[in-house]
A and B are shown apart, each in its own frame.
Chain A
């Protein structure tokens, strides 16, 4: 895990400006809504849900592009030419895709709570949404890294976001795990009054599903040639 972190730290540092800008996004949206006085509660809830989706899309796009970037720059050779296993390397990509979400969610949380306070409402729902985002972000990162092994970056990004959309669709049909958690995320109100029951159970299942995607990605990546002429 130390090796994965050593690599991830450098990958994060390389993209620090992009990630910092994304972190500011929830604050910017909050500022726009609060411009000129108290915002409309429906607008705030709509915006928070949009931010949740944007956060997951951020993870999916980041996760889908990392491997291709490293193969194209041939930095992957510098890393995998050392005592680093393929699963360790993918772990570093997973960390790199997921950690910016923590920054993003911190902005989501603070700006969301600020608006809830402005609206004189409890803000438990915002905390639940933030937690669900982090769990779903891990799952989305694993999916996007899985697809990035086979597909060019842009296609992998589209397929990964489509997987998130598909999970939301099947979640509406009663599927458990990530699908249900996604639907719950978009149903949760600011106060958290209508949080779906057994959401913790679905969160655990989502983590397990992410683990399965990641294990499959590691298994396949360990048995494939590196694509050093990547797109």
Chain B
């Protein structure tokens, strides 16, 4: 079975500027891929290429086995743009229009439209979708993306304008969508969202894919352990070698973050001097830390590049 979405060595240049540089990335069926990167990284350009709004300078790509830009394939895709825009009319009209453009027929369309609007709390929304708040427009955009019961969802910043209840609603919708076997390509700056719902992430900067892999592999053990000891002095001879790892001292409690290799030794030394072990915890990275580090690395690499 063909991948849900595949970029094959795709580049996009606007004049001299390379918005996307040899991107190769695959969204497998049934997975949620978080597409991350700072502003201007090329995320939206990649999405626009996938939907056929832009044509690649080189390379190619496919959605559900068909080339990017294939009109019939778009009927099987749900798309939420970063800034949803609507014609004059009600929320129901906006959703039904998209359903009809995606070949969804009544009465299924009407039922699905009603259900989605109800789920996203848009049933009592005003008459003109253009005058909705940014958050309501985003929820309406999500309803539009889901109305045709798509196999692939391409979401550009789906939760950026939502309040916390809105974020929860969307998270629930996306989890349901995955449960139904949909594949989701999820571009976002909301790292906590990505962390909670994505199976895999890809990190893009300056148009280049810098990292991709499972979320678990990125967030797993970072080789550091936090150890909290009690009843032992920070100045004691046995703990002196670990002074550089001491991060907090309060009363008779000492908090160390040490390389995991040292974990056993420091605990044994503390015990030997009559101290007790209060807690041991493997340190885990957060996506926020990773995002910051990768962005900094990319900036340093860019600065370090010799001029052409």
Contact = CB atoms under 8 A, between A and B. Distances in A.
A81 B55 contact: no
B87 A77 contact: no
B100 A14 contact: no
A48 B79 CA distance: 49
Contacts of B55: 223-225
A78 B84 contact: yes
Nearest to B55: A225
Contact of B87 (A75, A82, A84, A85): A75
A201 to B, nearest CB: 37
Nearest to A88: B71
B67 interface: no
Contact of B86 (A78, A81, A226): A78
B199 to A, nearest CB: 24
A83 B72 contact: yes
A49 interface: no
Interface string B54-80: 110000000000000001101101010
A77 B53 contact: yes
Given A3-B101, A6-B97, A82 B85 contact: no
Q: Is the interface of B mostly helix, strand, loop or mixed?
A: loop
B129 to A, nearest CB: 11
Interface in B92-113: 97-98, 100-103
A74 B84 CA distance: 8
A13 interface: yes
A172 interface: no
Nearest to A13: B88
Contacts of A226: 48, 53-54
User: Which range holds the interface residue count of chain A?
Assistant: 20 to 34
Contacts of A14: 87-88
B207 to A, nearest CB: 16
Contacts of A2: 100
A82 B154 CA distance: 12
Given A3-B101, A10-B89, A84 B71 contact: yes
Interface centre among A2, A73, A80, A228 (most CB of B within 10 A): A80
A3 B83 CA distance: 23
Contacts of B85: 73-75, 77-78
A82 B53 CA distance: 11
A84 B101 contact: yes
Interface in A77-123: 77-85
A11 B97 CA distance: 13
Q: Across the A-B interface, give the 4 residue pairs with the lowest CB-CB distance, nearest first.
A: A83-B75, A82-B101, A10-B87, A81-B79
27 contacts: A3-B101, A6-B97, A6-B100, A10-B87, A11-B87, A13-B89, A14-B87, A73-B85, A74-B83, A74-B85, A75-B87, A78-B81, A78-B84, A78-B86, A81-B51, A81-B53, A81-B77, A81-B79, A82-B102, A83-B71, A83-B72, A83-B102, A84-B74, A84-B101, A85-B71, A224-B55, A226-B48
Interface of B: 48, 51-55, 71-72, 74-75, 77, 79, 81, 83-89, 97-98, 100-103, 144
Interface of A: 2-3, 6-7, 10-11, 13-14, 73-75, 77-85, 223-226, 228
Given A80-B53, A81-B51, A225-B54, 6 more contacts: A7-B101, A74-B83, A78-B144, A83-B74, A84-B74, A224-B55
